[in-house]
Structure 1
């Protein structure tokens, strides 16, 4: 039985799930992630229809990255892991309000230090049909080209400075298509 997670597996999990939590229970280090909003909704729906032990086991099975099949000897161990998973899955509230300051500070830092991430979110905001995760997986040059093309078509500037096109987005798209046809002739 495998007793540790490799660095490559951990990096892969971080890339897929974001932050990874760890806790040592019964001399085993458990790696876990938060539940997605969809998973959390499904789990909350099951809360009233499942016995507490089965509900907690479902949470642990879904969100535990390593070991793949968590097995506990001592009473309470599974609930400790389940509690840790739920703590990172449900936003903490201060006085009935979500405390978003930590996330806003993170966003400020990302805007300053990771232009590709910020640009991907901006492009996805302008084109809701585009999946932001697909944009985040694009090479930087391809992302910049996509953003520049979007600027030309919709007439909004993501890079700052003068707007690249002042016309109606539909007119800009029509013009870009017609210009492309003229160049082919």
Structure 2
């Protein structure tokens, strides 16, 4: 009887520990996704507020000049990271639901294993777009593009850099 009780206590402790770990992963991924969603919403609102033919968000409000061919492509980074971390949040949520039934954990585990390459792509893509010459130039532009929320390209670059570092730290 003592051995049976000891096994149950061990199993319960294991489930509680697994739940705590998955809750931390869920919270981290949902917060990163939410912050990228905020950056994406700001960029899209900026683009909608500009007249047709005017410089869009990726041209850094005209700070890149007319010679810039592609712009920073920060909106692409925001969109990619938002979707990636939303998918990872859904995976961690499904893993949380599967904890009581250990065999069901195979699905989220395989999906997490398959998310390594897209996550690596996110790290590289974000780093290149943030730290290339156009990204550096845009990050230096501290002109407010939204005076109500006091957001500038420099503040967006600072936020993206923080998210980039945080996402690499949790992986």
Flag the structure with more relative contact order, 1 or 2, with Cα contacts below 8 A and sequence separation at least 6. Answer: 2
For the pair shown, the structure with the greater C-alpha radius of gyration is 1
The two structures have a TM-score, normalised by structure 2, of 0.23
Higher helix share: 2
